[in-house]
């Protein structure tokens, strides 16, 4: 087996496949290999809809072999470590693979162990997560008969930061449609201080929360779950002047204990598990202090090793980890690699932190949160031209975009290296 490649890509997810496809579109003679152990490639943005019973899980999966571009060598193996001084990546079974240029795009991994009790509880009984088993979420939602439906997220970065609240909105709409609204307390608890960081989107979502009579709980950082007693424990993380106070007869049955710990009973619990960079990345010399790939925020080039680039969820970027972000990152990386190949500088520094979060707010309604590093609302010009209305407001056309158009564009355009 050939063990040296011009361009080596770690990861057969959105970032890795798009990068390989776009590179080949520019130059078919390139020698490219992808290290990826999985047999299946998933379109994960649809898992929110699967968890609400409005999308078929099987349609989110395709064989990995069908998405790896023709002409790209597939090394079906696990990457296990780096030796950047020797331009080498270690693998589990295939030995060392060397490269001229490396693209690190393995995504991130779930680490439920960072919340006490979560590994034992996840995807069993009334504890569910669209991140790990959206079909179980749908079962929990259908079996729910009333009480506290709690939706939360961890203190770590997560892929698609808006997904936990989308699930809350869809569940609230489902309960309303099935006559459970008056028997149910829908709670969205977040370690963050606001529902969304971009002002026009936040204003819309505050109206959505009011419409559903949801209990919005900022500064709630989950750290422990007792699945048997159906209690979740939060650390209240607000600044000192905003200490936690809870009425003794509060409708949610919350209890405040010493050290600003809040106990909340639940009859349904949906959460995003804590997430980190994969172990082989986190324990390498390529990461920043927080354990994410240390790349330039605008060129995606590694800050120390100039022939290494990072794309997607693994990258240490102060923006949301989404497929939409990857769509804007890949062309920057592709151009920079081709510039380096011509012995020029990686001078494309045009990535501005663009990301977008399709925030489903009901069955048949959606808001599109698009933003940059400075939390400016930045609608994509192509989408804006196509939609012809303000995407910071709820609209049925945005739902159609989420459910039908984006999956089509993903499989047929993005993964084929075409501009979208």
- Which residues belong to the active site? 160, 357
The Cα–Cα gap between 156 and 408 comes to 31
Residues 6 or more apart in contact with residue 241 via CB below 8 angstroms: none
Q: Residue 145: what are its φ and ψ, rounded to 5°? A: -120, 0
Helix or strand (DSSP H, E) at 16: helix 14-26
Strand partners, 359: 367
Helix or strand (DSSP H, E) at 371: strand 365-371
The Cα–Cα gap between 418 and 24 comes to 11
- DSSP for 40-63, written as a single string: EEE-GGGHHHHTTTSS-GGGGEEE
The Cα–Cα gap between 328 and 323 comes to 9
3-state helix, strand, coil split of the chain in percent (to 5) is 35, 25, 40
The Cα–Cα gap between 317 and 369 comes to 18
The Cα–Cα gap between 38 and 137 comes to 24
The Cα–Cα gap between 182 and 179 comes to 8
SS3 235: strand
Q: Where are the alpha helices (DSSP H) in 212-359?
A: 279-282, 323-341
Q: Where are the alpha helices (DSSP H) in 27-107?
A: 47-50, 64-67
Contact assessment for residue 46 and residue 410, using Cβ atoms and an 8 Å cutoff: no
The Cα–Cα gap between 35 and 97 comes to 9
SS3 275: strand
């Amino acid at each position: 087996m050939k063990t040296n490649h011009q361009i080596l890509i770690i990861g057969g997810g959105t970032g890795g496949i798009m990068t390989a496809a776009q590179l080949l579109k520019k130059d078919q003679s390139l020698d490219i290999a992808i290290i990826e152990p999985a047999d299946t490639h998933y379109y994960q943005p649809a898992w929110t809809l699967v968890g609400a019973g409005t999308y078929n899980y099987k349609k989110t999966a395709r064989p990995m072999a069908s998405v790896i571009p023709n002409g790209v060598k597939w090394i079906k193996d696990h990457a296990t470590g780096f030796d950047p001084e020797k331009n080498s990546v270690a693998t589990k079974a295939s030995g060392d693979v060397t490269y001229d240029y490396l693209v690190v795009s393995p995504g991130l991994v779930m680490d439920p162990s960072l919340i006490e009790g979560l590994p034992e509880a996840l995807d069993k009984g009334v504890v569910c997560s669209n991140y790990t088993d959206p079909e179980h979420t749908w079962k929990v939602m259908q079996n729910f008969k009333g009480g506290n439906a709690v939706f939360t997220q961890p203190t770590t970065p997560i892929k698609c930061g808006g997904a936990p609240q989308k699930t809350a909105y869809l569940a609230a709409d489902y309960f309303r449609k099935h006559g459970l609204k008056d028997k149910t307390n829908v709670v969205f608890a977040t370690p963050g201080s606001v529902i969304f960081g971009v002002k026009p989107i936040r204003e819309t979502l505050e109206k959505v929360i009011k419409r559903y009579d949801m209990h919005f709980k900022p500064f709630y950082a989950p750290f422990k779950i007792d699945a048997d007693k159906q209690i979740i424990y939060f650390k209240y993380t607000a600044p000192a002047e905003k200490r936690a106070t809870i009425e003794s007869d509060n409708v949610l049955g919350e209890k405040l204990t010493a050290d600003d710990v809040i106990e909340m009973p639940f009859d349904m619990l949906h959460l995003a598990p804590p997430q980190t960079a994969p172990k082989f990345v986190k324990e390498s010399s390529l990461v920043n202090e927080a354990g994410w790939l240390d790349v330039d925020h605008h060129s995606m080039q590694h800050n120390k090793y100039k022939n290494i680039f990072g794309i997607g969820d693994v990258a240490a970027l102060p923006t949301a980890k989404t497929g939409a972000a990857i769509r804007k990152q890949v062309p920057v990386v592709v151009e920079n690699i081709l510039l380096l190949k011509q012995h020029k500088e990686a001078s494309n520094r045009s990535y501005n932190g663009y990301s977008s979060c399709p925030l489903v707010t009901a069955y048949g309604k959606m808001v599109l949160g698009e933003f940059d590093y400075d939390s400016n609302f930045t609608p994509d010009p192509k989408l804006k031209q196509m939609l012809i209305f303000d995407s910071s407001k709820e609209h049925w056309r945005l739902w159609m975009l989420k459910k039908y158009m984006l999956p089509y564009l993903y499989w047929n355009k993005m993964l084929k290296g075409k501009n979208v």
